[in-house]
C-alpha cells in the first residue's frame, strides 16, 4: 500500500540511516501539552502568516496560520515527502491529526481524498485559525475539530471502529513530549496498532536524535529530513485480519 521502495525492518534491529535531504527543520519547539504549544506566557506576539496546501484538489489553497512560536508547522518539503510515501493510502480514509497545530496535515489529507478528518488541538487561538481555514476551504462537513487534551481524548477517538474504513493517524507532537510524555505517546501508538482497520497507517514525527528504539516494537519505516525523522507503521496483519 505504501511507497516503501527501500523495504521495512523491525524496530530493534540495526536499521540504516535514510537520508533524503539535508534541509533543517529549524529546531525543536519547547512545549508540553496536547498541541505544539508553549505554555509560558513570555513569547513575543506572532505575525499572522499563510501556509498552503501542497497537493490534491485544493493544491495552492491557503492554510491560515497565526505565526506564534507555540506552533511548529512541518516544513513543506517534509510534508510533501510524507504524502508521497502515503500515496493512495490517504484516499477514502479517516485522518486523525492528533496534535493539530495549524491543521496542515488534516487539510492536506482532505485535499488528497481522505473521506473525513478529526483534528485535536488544545490551544484556542490555534483552533480559531483552523476553523477559519476550514470555512475558507468549505470543509466543515468533512472536518471535526476537537478542542482538548490529546492524551485524555485518545482512548475514545481511537476506540475500535464500527466499520473498516482505514485510518491515517498523524502523531506530530512538540518534540519535547517524546521525552516528557513518552509513555502516553506510546499508548496512542499501541491503541492505533490494536484498533485501526486493515489498510491503516500511523505516522510519527520526532527529532532525528530521538532514540527510536523507545517506540513500540513493530515493522517501522524511518525517513530522515535534516533534523526530523518520520516513522511509518501499519497494523500487523494475519490471515487477512488485523491482529
For the segment 150-182, what is each residue's pLDDT rounded down to a tens digit?
A: 999 999 999 999 999 999 999 999 999 999 999
How is residue 32 written as a grid cell? 508540553
Q: Is residue 28 part of a domain?
A: no
Q: Is residue 17 part of a domain?
A: no
Q: Is residue 151 part of a domain?
A: yes
Helices (H) and strands (E) in the chain, counts: 6, 13
Q: Is residue 115 part of a domain?
A: yes
Q: Is residue 65 part of a domain?
A: yes
Q: Is residue 27 part of a domain?
A: no
Burial 193-226 (b: 16+ CB within 10 A, else e): beebbebbbbbbbbeeebebeebeebebbbbbbb
CATH number of the domain enclosing 80: 3.40.50.150
Q: Please report the beta strands in 60-166, taking only residues with DSSP state E, as ranges in sequence order.
A: 62-65, 94-97, 116-121, 143-147
Total domains, the chain: 1
The packing angle between helices 76-86 and 104-111, to 10°, is 40
Q: Is residue 26 part of a domain?
A: no
Domain interval for residue 157: 43-242
Q: Is residue 85 part of a domain?
A: yes
pLDDT of the residue at 213 = 97
Regions of the chain with pLDDT less than 70: 1-49, 237-243
Q: Please report the beta strands in 18-72, taking only residues with DSSP state E, as ranges in sequence order.
A: 19-21, 49-52, 62-65
Under DSSP, is residue 36 helix (H, G, I), strand (E, B) or coil?
coil
Amino acid at each position: 500500500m505504501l511507497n516503501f521502495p527501500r523495504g521495512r525492518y523491525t524496530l530493534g534491529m540495526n536499521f540504516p540511516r535514510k537520508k533524503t535531504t539535508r534541509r533543517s527543520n529549524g529546531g525543536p519547539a519547547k512545549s508540553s501539552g496536547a498541541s505544539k504549544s508553549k505554555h509560558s506566557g513570555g513569547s513575543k506576539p506572532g505575525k499572522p502568516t499563510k501556509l498552503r496546501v501542497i497537493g490534491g484538489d485544493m493544491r495552492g489553497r491557503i492554510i491560515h496560520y497565526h505565526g506564534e512560536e507555540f506552533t511548529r508547522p512541518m516544513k513543506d518539503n517534509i510534508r510533501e515527502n510524507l504524502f508521497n510515501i502515503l500515496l493512495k493510502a490517504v484516499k477514502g480514509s479517516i485522518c486523525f491529526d492528533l496534535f493539530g497545530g495549524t491543521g496542515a496535515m488534516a487539510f492536506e489529507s482532505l485535499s488528497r481524498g481522505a473521506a473525513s478528518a478529526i483534528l485535536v488541538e488544545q490551544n484556542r487561538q490555534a483552533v480559531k485559525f483552523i476553523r477559519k481555514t476550514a470555512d475558507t476551504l468549505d470543509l466543515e462537513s468533512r472536518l471535526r475539530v476537537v478542542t482538548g487534551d490529546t492524551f485524555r481524548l485518545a482512548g475514545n477517538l481511537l476506540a475500535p471502529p464500527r466499520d473498516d474504513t482505514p485510518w491515517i493517524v498523524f502523531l506530530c507532537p512538540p518534540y519535547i513530549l517524546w521525552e516528557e510524555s513518552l509513555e502516553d505517546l506510546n499508548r496512542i501508538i499501541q491503541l492505533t496498532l490494536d484498533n485501526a482497520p486493515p489498510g491503516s497507517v500511523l505516522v510519527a514525527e520526532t527529532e532525528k536524535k530521538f532514540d527510536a528504539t523507545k517506540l513500540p516494537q513493530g515493522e517501522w519505516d524511518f525517513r530522515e529530513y535534516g533534523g526530523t525523522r518520520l516513522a511509518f507503521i501499519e497494523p500487523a496483519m494475519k490471515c487477512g485480519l488485523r491482529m
